[in-house]
């Protein structure tokens, strides 16, 4: 169903790798709500070719950019304005990667070059995107930037490794840059803290399946799906949420405020 919530809006959507990606669902919903946008991902992700299907489906152009590279981000914002015919109204940051997690290195033994890479790709890239957009004055007033985060930024999840630190930094950048960009151009910056979701990045975490089931048992509404996350992000890109900024918004079926659920308790009840 479309309410044309994003009619006439121009966007940049990062992070669509395959049809499981949260960004993929966001692109589909943004298109259905009347937005036009460019798609971007690291050049290496292009080789998989999947993103071309999404580009055809949503009539979007793909502009490769490594989100850690300021020059490539500058090209992304400049080409996007050219292709879309004006300033940008919304940006999705849906980027995360940890070489330590990929290589199964325990948190306490993190390789520091990898650690820096995790921070650069998963957190600093948001700062770089915002910095480039602000310098170029590439966004319309009341524009909206959304980054995807995870509750390991607030509470410890031992298997989430250095990504927890990257997400804590990402959420801090949301607040800090949100202040400056809000003052300068009335741009809104928020993060959405999403339930565990079965995607390439998600499933890369050790024990993901068990943890997914645990979160499902804790959350009164169950885990939020990628589709539901996409719908929430659409509201944040729309004019209906104009005064929401510098927030970390939980989209998790109630997980973050549930102490314990009956389903989990039952496993510990003495017979």
Using CB under 6 A, which of the segments 81-89, 92-100, 102-110, 241-249 binds ligand NAI? Answer: 92-100
Using CB under 6 A, which of the segments 5-13, 94-102, 126-134, 153-161 binds ligand NAI? Answer: 94-102
Question: Binder to ligand NAI among 11, 96, 161, 253 (CB under 6 A)?
Answer: 96
17: contact with ligand NAI by CB under 6 A: yes
- Residue 13 to residue 29: CA distance in whole angstroms: 12
95: contact with ligand NAI by CB under 6 A: yes
Using CB under 6 A, which of the segments 83-91, 197-205, 237-245, 260-268 binds ligand NAI? Answer: 197-205
What is the secondary structure of the chain as a DSSP string? ----TTTT-EEEEE---STTSHHHHHHHHHHHTT-EEEEE--HHHHTT-HHHHHHHHHT-EE----TT-HHHHHHHHHHHHHHHTS-EEEEEE-----HHHHTT--GGG--HHHHHHHHIIIIIHHHHHHHHHHHHT-EEEEEEEEEEE-GGGTS--GGGTTHHHHHHHHHHHHHHHHHHHHHHH--EEEEEEEPP--SHHHHTSTTHHHHHHHHHHH-TT-PPPHHHHHHHHHHHHSGGGTT--S-EEEESTTGGG-S--HHHHHTT---
What is the footprint of ligand NAI within residues 28-47 (CB under 6 A)?
41-42, 45
What is the footprint of ligand NAI within residues 134-163 (CB under 6 A)?
148-150
118: contact with ligand NAI by CB under 6 A: no
97: contact with ligand NAI by CB under 6 A: yes
Using CB under 6 A, which of the segments 135-143, 176-184, 192-200, 214-222 binds ligand NAI? Answer: 192-200
Q: Say if CB 226 and CB 234 are below 8 A apart.
A: no
22: contact with ligand NAI by CB under 6 A: yes
What is the footprint of ligand NAI within residues 219-258 (CB under 6 A)?
none
21: contact with ligand NAI by CB under 6 A: yes
Using CB under 6 A, which of the segments 54-62, 91-99, 100-108, 180-188 binds ligand NAI? Answer: 91-99
Chain residues that interact with ligand NAI, rule: CB under 6 A: 14-15, 17, 21-23, 41-42, 45, 66-68, 94-97, 121, 148-150, 194, 196-197, 199-202
């Amino acid at each position: 169903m479309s309410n044309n919530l994003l009619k006439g809006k121009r966007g940049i959507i990062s992070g669509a790798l395959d049809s499981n990606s949260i960004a993929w669902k966001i692109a589909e919903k943004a298109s259905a709500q009347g937005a036009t946008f460019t798609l971007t991902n690291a050049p290496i992700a292009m080789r998989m070719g999947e993103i071309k299907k999404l580009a055809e489906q949503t009539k979007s152009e793909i502009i490769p950019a490594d989100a850690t590279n300021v020059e490539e981000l500058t090209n992304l914002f400049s080409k996007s304005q050219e292709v879309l015919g004006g300033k940008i109204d919304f940006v999705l940051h849906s980027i995360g990667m940890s070489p330590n997690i990929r290589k199964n290195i325990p948190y306490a033994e993190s390789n520091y070059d990898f650690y820096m890479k995790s921070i650069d790709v998963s957190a600093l890239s948001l700062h770089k995107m915002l910095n480039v957009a602000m310098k170029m004055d590439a966004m319309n007033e009341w524009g909206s930037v959304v980054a995807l985060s995870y509750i390991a930024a607030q509470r410890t999840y031992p298997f989430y490794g250095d990504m927890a630190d990257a997400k804590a930094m990402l959420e801090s950048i949301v607040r800090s840059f949100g202040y400056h960009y809000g003052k300068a151009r009335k741009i809104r910056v928020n993060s959405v803290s999403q339930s565990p979701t079965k995607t390439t990045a998600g499933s890369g975490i050790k024990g993901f399946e068990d943890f997914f089931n645990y979160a499902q048992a804790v959350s009164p509404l169950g885990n939020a799906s990628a589709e539901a996350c996409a719908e929430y992000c659409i509201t944040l890109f729309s004019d209906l949420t104009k005064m929401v900024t510098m927030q970390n918004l939980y989209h998790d079926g109630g997980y973050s405020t549930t102490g314990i659920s009956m389903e989990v308790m039952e496993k510990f009840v003495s017979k």
